[in-house]
Amino acid sequence: MPSCTICSLCDNPGTFQDSVEKGQVPCDVRHFAGERFTVWRCVNCNSVHSADDVDLARYYSQYPLQKQKLEYPLRIAYRRRLQLLDKHGVRRSARILDYGCGTGVFVQFLRENGFTSVYGYDPFVPAYADRKVLNEQYDAVVSFDVIEHVDDPRQLLAELRNLLHPLGHLVIGTPNANYLSVRAETSPDIELSQPFHRHILSEQALLDLAHRSRLRTVQVYRTNLVDSMIPGINTRFMWTYIKRTGGAIDVAVEPPRLKVILSSPRLLFYAFFGALFPPRGNMVGVFEGQ
């Protein structure tokens, strides 16, 4: 019997038993190829849950995205994140925390672009695992691709809210469950990312949780803010490339397989024009503390 059987996100929680959308999804990390996990959709809030109780430390020990480095493609991809911070008035002198910063590549990027007080926290990365930074308050907290990884998104949002100065900005980037297919077992959505994504929120679930945490919604962008017209640096190309090479996200941090790309008209098309066809399975919410 799956361990996550009741939705923890909505006031009228759906259950695993009542769900009409369930699927078996393979792990998308090469080291665990062959392992499959159960996902299901809440009939009330439309969020997607990972049903299986797993030892996450075991899986994160082989998580390829922890090998990311701040190289040219990431610098290009992060420009749109920087533009978003500028748009919402986050100054270069602002105190900023990147919660769930991974290897700290976005922290490094912000420092390179003139931000003078940037900090990072990630419990799975020793260099950023010191919880002392959580005893401070910040003008802005950014948290990209994190909330879907935690067992209790409600608790995380409350913690992030408490890290903000009054009227400080919280930016959350996460997959959008509204546009993900649970049943696509032969070619699952990359954003299902099992078993790492514990709870994938629908847009309304994210907004409701933010409201309960005393956060005012400023704007929601239905994108993940990494797409660029520079060839090969867009989500549509990368997701198609991952599926074409077997479905393991490991390839995102490995040298590109040029033979695979050059032999696929679809990949070549998306390399140059994929930014015009962004997948709808992501969102970025900008919130303000009250």
Percent of the chain as helix, strand, coil, to the nearest 5: 35, 20, 40
- Mean pLDDT in residue range 264-275: 96
Residue 17 lies in a domain: no
Residue 146 lies in a domain: yes
Give yes or no for residue 224 having a pLDDT over 90: no
pLDDT 10s digits, 8-18: 998 889 999 99
Banded pLDDT at 238 (limits 50, 70, 90): very high
pLDDT 10s digits, 97-141: 999 999 999 999 999 999 999 999 998 889 999 999 999 999 999
pLDDT in the model for residue 189: 82
pLDDT in the model for residue 3: 72
For residue 74, what are the domain limits? 64-177+201-227+280-289
Banded pLDDT at 66 (limits 50, 70, 90): confident
pLDDT in the model for residue 184: 63
* Residue 244 sits in the same domain as residue 156: no
pLDDT 10s digits, 73-83: 899 989 999 99
- Mean pLDDT in residue range 246-275: 95
* Residue 205 sits in the same domain as residue 270: no
The answer to whether 141 and 170 are in contact (CB under 8 A) is: yes
CA separation for the pair 103, 95 (Å, rounded): 19
Residue 79 lies in a domain: yes
Q: Which two tokens stand for residue 182?
A: 């649970």
Give, in order, the Cα–Cα distances in Å from 99 to each of 63, 124, 142, 155: 18, 12, 6, 14
Banded pLDDT at 1 (limits 50, 70, 90): very low
Give yes or no for residue 56 having a pLDDT over 80: yes
pTM of the model: 0.92
* Residue 249 sits in the same domain as residue 205: no
